[in-house]
Amino acid sequence: MPAASDLTDQIAVPTRRQLLGMIGTMGGAAAMYQAMTALGHAAETQFTGPPVLSGARPGASVVVLGAGLAGLAAALELSRAGYSVQVLEYQDRAGGRNYSVRGGDRIVEVGGATQTCEFAPGNYINPGPWRIPHHHRTLLHYCKTLGVELEPFIQNNHNGLIHRSNAFGGQPQRYKELAVDFKGHVSELLGKALNDGALDGKVSAEDKEKLLVAMREWGVLDRNMAFTPSIALSGQRGYDIPPGGGLDPAPTASTPNGLADVLSSNVWTQMGFYFNYVMQTTMFQPKGGMDQIAAGFMRQIGAMVRLNTRVAKIAQDASGVTVDWTDNATGQTGQTKADWCVCTIPPPVLSQIELQASDALLAAVRAVPMNGQLKIGLEMRRRFWEEDYAIYGGHSFTDQAISQLSYPNDKFFQDGPAVLLGAFANGAGALQLTGMTPAERIEVALDQGSVFHPAEYRREFISGVSVPWSRMPWIQGCTSRWTDASRAQHYTNLVTMDGRVVLAGEHATYYGGWMEGSLLSALNAIEQLHQRATAA
């Protein structure tokens, strides 16, 4: 999640103009997202089915480099079209970033730091992708056709918490209270501006009346257009004494937070986050872990995949492609020859491999920017976030390095150990945590996460693991982060077939950072390959 900008240093007691500027900030974020959609960065995918690859030449062969989702999808569709396919994968498993860390798994970083996960059987953390938006039609298609069972991913939980170090004395607050208070104060100020005639030049008399009604109802204002405590308002933000039955006392209204405190929380950052098109409900996750998607592909094409195989060189000429490789387990060297090649090796790694290709493609591979996110999974003895805080799924946010906690979306109400996401760090927070030892990262996650659950966090902790993506030797980064300038100069060269080699993957799409983008890039790549192959 992008880090929130802190406006509180510039704003103590906001003027009307400053507040309207903040409202404009929210509108600006929406406008930016619409611009991204127009450019293809975040639009709903128009997937209607896999490409029809008819007329493949009998005996034509393809080597696919990398068994992440792009490589697996390319191999599946090419094999269905009649091509002879061989997949070479560096790791001892398929899936790439699409995987789950479970008890017994080893995580080896660049430099040799090694962790062994100690989670109880059945527990896991998804260190890479972890949620599937409802409009990612390509991914949903493959989950359905491959028999990958999905379950809801709870994205927006109003009972989650928001923490900012300089707000409310550093004490976390419920999202529902801050969000309701923010819209209440904004409604009151906009209502006052309308009644004072400040917007008469902007709205008609009829629309002014409609807006006043809307602000009164949306902000839960009183008859004087004031944001004040009421039972109706507590029906949104929560009560001091909730409704009971029989001789229980009558419900008591809670008191809203003041405007200055609400602004100090930057709650609009989280409100805007949930408005983002790719962050809206409904969302899904594979039942039993994200690695179930790769497992679904492997049930279909596992015999085509050679694991533990490090690519050393990619050569091509007019007759075909030759890939030199080394077996990671035995040290055996070998070559795989094919007519064509789909390469999904991540750019930071591919740039270190001898690749016979045009200067334009080589420059594009070197130019792909990558970010370095980090996730930490913490196993706890019990689900105290449910039992003690009534938080079932969703997230809690902080301005500390860990950025957020995310609560598991499965096995609700069950006893025994459970794993929560104890950090999803980006930017400076990810850099800070990545530079630490694995043990130090866990200590920081426990220290910073305790702000949300001070009595339980350390007491219930059992074990933890961290995955710093920029230190994973098989990718050396997390997701591509194209700029407008780098995309304008290099993107077309990166995704256009170069001789007999075509690239695919999360970096070869406008949908960066999502599994949907990886799959879409693979389908486009094999269409290019098939057109070239049938023309030849």
Give me the pLDDT at residue 32, please: 34
All structural domains of the chain:
61-93+291-369+480-535 (3.50.50.60), 101-129+371-471 (3.90.660.10), 159-278 (1.20.1440.240)
Per the CB < 8 A criterion, the answer to whether 228 and 222 are in contact is yes
Spell out the alpha helix ranges (H) of 318-358.
347-350
User: Smallest Cα–Cα separation from 184: which of 237, 251, 241, 242?
Assistant: 237
CA Rg, the chain, in Å? Answer: 26
Give me the pLDDT at residue 48, please: 83
User: Smallest Cα–Cα separation from 297: which of 409, 153, 141?
Assistant: 141
Task: Map tokens 């200055």 to a residue.
Answer: 260
User: Smallest Cα–Cα separation from 40: which of 514, 510, 519, 488?
Assistant: 510
The residue type found at 457 is: Y
Task: Map tokens 């491959």 to a residue.
Answer: 146
Q: How far is CA 247 from the centre of its chain?
A: 48
**pLDDT(9) > 50:** no
DSSP string, 474-523: TTSSSSB---HHHHHHHHHHHHS-BTTEEE-STTSSSSTTSHHHHHHHHH
What is the tens place of the pLDDT at every residue in 14-53?
A: 444 444 344 444 333 333 333 333 333 444 666 888 999 9
**pLDDT(93) > 50:** yes
Per the CB < 8 A criterion, the answer to whether 316 and 356 are in contact is yes
- Summarize the confidence of residues 315-333 as an average pLDDT: 97
Give me the pLDDT at residue 320, please: 98
Q: Which of 25-34, 352-361, 490-499 has the lowest mean pLDDT?
A: 25-34
Per the CB < 8 A criterion, the answer to whether 402 and 423 are in contact is yes
- pLDDT band, residue 465 (cuts 50/70/90): very high
331 burial type by CB count under 10 A (0-12 exposed, 13-18 middle, 19+ buried): exposed
What is the tens place of the pLDDT at every residue in 202-256?
A: 999 999 999 999 999 999 999 999 999 999 999 999 999 999 999 999 999 999 9
- Summarize the confidence of residues 517-534 as an average pLDDT: 97
Q: What is the DSSP letter of 68?
A: B
Per the CB < 8 A criterion, the answer to whether 159 and 172 are in contact is no
Higher pLDDT, 7 or 202: 202
Q: What is the DSSP letter of 370?
A: B
What is the tens place of the pLDDT at every residue in 382-415?
A: 999 999 999 999 999 999 999 999 999 999 999 9
User: Residue 162 pairs with which residues in a beta bridge?
Assistant: 173, 397
Q: Which of 71-80, 141-150, 178-187, 271-280 has the lowest mean pLDDT?
A: 271-280
pTM of the model: 0.89
**pLDDT(333) > 60:** yes
What is the tens place of the pLDDT at every residue in 53-63?
A: 999 999 999 99
User: Smallest Cα–Cα separation from 379: which of 120, 104, 105?
Assistant: 120
CA distance 282 to 288: 19
CA distance 519 to 529: 15
**Residue 298 to residues 16, 105, 305, 344, 517, Cα–Cα distance (Å):** 59, 19, 8, 17, 20
Per the CB < 8 A criterion, the answer to whether 291 and 99 are in contact is yes
**Residue 182 to residues 40, 148, 261, Cα–Cα distance (Å):** 32, 40, 10
Give me the pLDDT at residue 10, please: 33
**pLDDT(7) > 50:** no
Q: Which of 8-17, 366-375, 416-425, 463-472 has the lowest mean pLDDT?
A: 8-17
Per the CB < 8 A criterion, the answer to whether 368 and 347 are in contact is yes
Per the CB < 8 A criterion, the answer to whether 161 and 177 are in contact is no
Give me the pLDDT at residue 44, please: 61
Per the CB < 8 A criterion, the answer to whether 155 and 281 are in contact is yes
Spell out the alpha helix ranges (H) of 219-343.
231-237, 259-264, 267-275, 291-301
Is the dihedral angle over the CA atoms 258, 264, 268, 270 positive or is it negative?
negative
Per the CB < 8 A criterion, the answer to whether 141 and 49 are in contact is yes
CA distance 343 to 92: 18
- pLDDT band, residue 348 (cuts 50/70/90): very high
Per the CB < 8 A criterion, the answer to whether 119 and 100 are in contact is no
SS3 of residue 166 by DSSP = coil
